[in-house]
């Protein structure tokens, strides 16, 4: 433990830096090493920050999964194009029938 006092904002910034530098197990190891420098209150704040981020990440993953279940961006985009072509073709056919 060091004598430095870490504010919640400082802890959030440090987590951001560690996330940018490390992935997966390396990130977890870096967080564990960093937490050894902290006092009990700062460790609690760090745990709270990590829990909040994991909830946010899980919510984003759920939203992404829902979008993928709906068929994906490419399929929706082509569906919109096909709908537009169908409407254009129907409009053309109506105009052609009116001219006869």
> pLDDT for 64-100, tens place per residue?
677 667 666 667 777 788 888 889 999 989 988 888 7
CB atoms within 10 A of CB 12: 16
pLDDT of 14 over the 70 cut: yes
Each residue of 37-66: pLDDT tens digit? 999 999 999 999 999 988 888 777 777 677
Q: How far apart are CA 14 and CA 44, in angstroms?
A: 15
pLDDT surpassing 80 at residue 18: yes
C-alpha 29 chain-centroid distance: 22
Domain count along the chain: 2
Question: Does residue 63 sit in the same domain as residue 75?
Answer: no
Q: Which residue has the tokens 């490419």?
A: 74
Are 44 and 15 within one domain? yes
Is residue 20 located within the same domain as residue 60?
yes
36 and 23 in a common domain: yes
Are 90 and 56 within one domain? Answer: no
Range of the domain at 98: 71-100
pLDDT confidence of residue 77: 75
Does 77 lie in the same domain as 60?
no
CA distance 93 to 88: 9
């Amino acid at each position: 433990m060091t004598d430095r006092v870490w504010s919640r904002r400082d802890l959030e910034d440090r987590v951001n830096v560690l996330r940018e530098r490390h992935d997966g197990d390396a990130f977890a190891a870096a967080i564990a090493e960093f937490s050894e420098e902290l006092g009990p209150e700062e460790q609690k704040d760090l745990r709270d920050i990590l829990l909040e981020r994991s909830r946010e990440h899980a919510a984003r993953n759920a939203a992404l999964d829902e979008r993928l279940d709906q068929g994906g961006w490419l399929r929706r985009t082509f569906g919109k194009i096909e709908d537009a072509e169908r409407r254009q073709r129907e409009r053309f056919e109506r105009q052609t029938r009116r001219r006869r």
